[in-house]
Amino acid sequence: MSVVMRTIQRRHPEIEIYEANTDKDHIHLLVSVAPRMALSEAVRILKCNSARMMLRKFPFLKKTYWGTEDGIWSVGYFVSTVGVNEETIRKYIELQGQDDSGQAKLELG
Active site residues: 92
DSSP for 17-55, please give it: EEEEEE-SS-EEEEEEE-TTS-HHHHHHHHHHHHHHHHH
